[in-house]
Structure 1
Amino acid sequence: MKIVNVIPHAISVPLQTPFYFSQGWVHARSSLIIEIQTDEGITGYGESLCHGLQSPHVAAAMIEHSLKPLLLGRSPFDVEVLWEEMYNLTRPYGQAGIAVNAISGVDIAIWDVIGRALNKPIHSLIGGAFRTEVTPYATGFYRTAVQSYPMASVDEAHTYLESGFEAFKLKIGFGVDEDIALIAAVRESVGPNVKILADANGAYDLATARKLVGETESLNIYLYEELLSPENLKGYKSLKSHSTPLIAAGEQVFGKMGFQPWLAERALDVIQPDLCSSGGITECKKIAALAQANHTQMIPHVWGSGVGIAASIQFIASLPSTPLSLNPTEPLLEFDQSSHPFRTDLIFDGIEMKNGKVQVPTKPGIGVEVNEEVIEKYKVN
């Protein structure tokens, strides 16, 4: 089997109601879906993550002009060889950022091809599944210009609880006093037993983050995500040493080389590589091995379309708990509930939550089918 075409599909749809978070306004939901075609008629799909302010055209250009020529005529079963060659090719102008972001989507598409060729889900090809279902937490709580806070966030929290979620992640980073008021209002409304996470998207310096964590200690936050910028390893290490809630980050760290110092320094309680940006299946399995060797939990970041969510579920299924035990702490699934015009339509609604759990798909490859009509409808390149 040989790869005969690599097509980066840039998709973008304007939001009817733009929303904002600590880094700015999101006016459209975008994604880069990578399609890999083979000479045996088997096609695979992957995704390169588009953060809220990221254009899909950048990674598309990286694939079209750098990665595609290397891949044509190659066997998808040489997936690890291809990963290392793609990384080595882009090393002089990559090593992180958009280069690894693009490689991630290609790698997922290659694994999708392999799974479909062998009629196996990806988790069966990377060691098996430690679990048949995963526990999701709802990501949302982005702000709009037409709502009043914190009450809109309190109402949103109850919407998730009514849908069956037992955990959700607040958006913070709007100023310490406002964040404290938000967390307090939501905690008071939902009671003491709901698991609350909070994500600042790198909005604070160490002193400000320490103040926020200290003044919300009684509110029982389970995990704080990206309180500091992704360059501030020493700051995270200091914050972790003084924090009762778990301290997490990593969606803006790339590959095993990027995560190595974070793990060696014990800078985080939880690392959060994004499968669609931090290296794909091939590299994230290696990051997971490093995390296990350094006794650090992994809860992957997930914010893509249905393609990225499906691939991430396959990956999460393969992660051992840290450590294995009779009643282990299982990795969670970040299950984005924010406004997204094509997230579920792209995979024919192939993933859903029932009774507070998301089943691990057992169909070949990423476990879902991709709706090509949705790609064509929203394609912008």
Structure 2
Amino acid sequence: MKIVDVIPHVLSPPLSEPFAFSQGWVEKRSSMIVEIVTDEGITGWGESLCHGLQPPEIAASFVQFCLKPMLISRDPFDVEVLWEEMYNQTRPFGQHGAAINAISGVDIALWDVIGRSLNKPIHKLLGGAFRTEVQPYATGFYRLQGKDHLQEGVKEAQRHLSKGFKAVKLKVGFGVKSDIEYIYAIREAVGPDIMIMIDANCAYNSAAARRILLECERAKIHFFEEPLAPEDIEGYHNLRNLTSTYIASGENIFGKTSYRHWISTGALDILQPDLMSAGGFTECKKIAAMAQAWNTMLIPHVWGSGVGLAASLQFISNILPAPLSMNPQEPLLEYDQSAHPFREELIYGAISMDNGIVKIPQKPGIGVEVNRDVIKAYRKDVFK
């Protein structure tokens, strides 16, 4: 089997109602979908993470002008060789950010090709499933223009609970006082038994984050995600063990060489690599192995279209609890509930929550089919 084409699809439709997080206003929902075509008629699909303010054209350019020429006529089963060659080629101008995002999308698509050719879901190729279903938590709680964030937050929390969610993640990072008021308002609205996480998207220094942690101790926050910038590993060390709240990060940490310092020095309670950003299956499997060696919890970050969601479920299925036991602490699924024009439609609505759980797709590859009509409807022709 040989690769005959690598196609980066840039999808970036505007939102009917923009929303804000701590770093700015999100006007579009963007994805960079990678399609790999083989000479045997098998096609694989992957996705590169596009943060709210990240132009998808950047990762697409890496694929089109750098990675694609390396991949044509190669065997997709040489997936680890290809990963290392792609990383080595981009090392002088990559190592982090969009370069690894692009490699991630390609790697996921390669594994999808392999799974489809062998008629096996990817979790089987990774070594099997520790679980066939996972508890999701609802990600959302973004700010909307001209609306009261406390009232909207309470209404959104109640909406998620009515759907069966038992856990929610709040967007914070809008000021210490405002965040504390918001957290307690949601806790009061949902009661004591619902799991609450908070995510500041790198909005604070360690002093401000410390105040939030201490003053919100009674709110019983499960984990505090990205309170600080990823450059501030010392600050993360300072926040650990201040309260019972776990400290989590990893969305902006890329590849095994970056993760090794965070893992080996014990900077975090929970590691959050994103499959679409940290290197795809090939690299995230190695990050998971390092996490296991240091007995550190791993809960992947997930924020993309249905392609990324399906692929992430394959990865989550294979993650070892930390540690394995009769009643282990299982990983969770970040299940984005914010506005997205094509998230479910892209995969024919193949993934959903039922009775508070999401099942791992069992079909070959990433476990879902891709709706080409959706790609055609939203695709931008950036490489004419």
Shorter-chain-normalised TM-score: which range? over 0.9
> Does residue 16 of structure 2 align to residue 5 of structure 1?
no
Q: Matches of 1:149 and 1:82 in 2, distance apart?
A: 47
Q: Matches of 1:253 and 1:356 in 2, distance apart?
A: 30
The amino acid that maps onto 1:151 is Q
Q: May I ask how many residue pairs the two structures share in their alignment?
A: 381
| Match in the other structure for 1:207 | 207
Deviation per CA, 1:51-95: give whole Å up to 9, x if none.
000011000000111100100000000000000000000011111
| Match in the other structure for 2:195 | 195
| Match in the other structure for 1:128 | 128
| Match in the other structure for 1:15 | 15
Could you tell me the TM-score, scaled by structure 1's length? 0.99
| Match in the other structure for 2:296 | 296
> Does residue 38 of structure 2 align to residue 38 of structure 1?
yes
| Match in the other structure for 1:87 | 87
Q: Matches of 2:350 and 2:275 in 1, distance apart?
A: 19
Q: Matches of 1:355 and 1:224 in 2, distance apart?
A: 26
Where in structure 2 are the equivalents of 1:142-221 lying within 5 Å?
142-221=142-221
Q: Matches of 1:98 and 1:291 in 2, distance apart?
A: 24
Where in structure 2 are the equivalents of 1:297-336 lying within 5 Å?
297-336=297-336
- The Cα shift of 1:380 comes to 1.1
- The Cα shift of 1:14 comes to 0.3
Q: Matches of 1:182 and 1:380 in 2, distance apart?
A: 38
Q: Matches of 2:34 and 2:377 in 1, distance apart?
A: 16
- The Cα shift of 1:241 comes to 3.1
Deviation per CA, 1:209-236: give whole Å up to 9, x if none.
0011000011101110000011100000
> Does residue 238 of structure 2 align to residue 238 of structure 1?
yes
Deviation per CA, 1:238-272: give whole Å up to 9, x if none.
10132320000010000000100001110000010
The amino acid that maps onto 1:144 is L
The amino acid that maps onto 1:150 is L
Deviation per CA, 1:332-353: give whole Å up to 9, x if none.
0000000000000000001010
> Does residue 350 of structure 2 align to residue 364 of structure 1?
no
Structure 2: runs of 5+ lacking an equivalent:
none
- The Cα shift of 1:49 comes to 0.6
The amino acid that maps onto 2:76 is P
> Does residue 262 of structure 2 align to residue 262 of structure 1?
yes
Deviation per CA, 1:90-113: give whole Å up to 9, x if none.
011111111111000000000000
The amino acid that maps onto 2:297 is Q
- The Cα shift of 1:282 comes to 0.4
Q: Matches of 2:122 and 2:295 in 1, distance apart?
A: 25
Q: Matches of 2:251 and 2:243 in 1, distance apart?
A: 20
Q: Matches of 1:120 and 1:196 in 2, distance apart?
A: 36
Partner-residue secondary structure (3-state), 1:320: coil
> Does residue 55 of structure 2 align to residue 73 of structure 1?
no
- The Cα shift of 1:129 comes to 0.4
Q: Matches of 1:146 and 1:206 in 2, distance apart?
A: 30
**Bigger Cα displacement from structure 2, 238-247 vs 216-225:** 238-247
- The Cα shift of 1:146 comes to 3.1
Deviation per CA, 1:141-189: give whole Å up to 9, x if none.
0111131121110110010000000001000000011001000111011
Q: Identity, % of aligned pairs?
A: 61
Deviation per CA, 1:183-202: give whole Å up to 9, x if none.
01110111101000000000
Where in structure 2 are the equivalents of 1:340-351 lying within 5 Å?
340-351=340-351
The list of structure 1 runs, each at least 4 consecutive aligned residues, that deviate by more than 3 angstroms after superposition, is none
Q: Matches of 2:51 and 2:370 in 1, distance apart?
A: 21
The amino acid that maps onto 1:339 is A
The amino acid that maps onto 1:85 is E
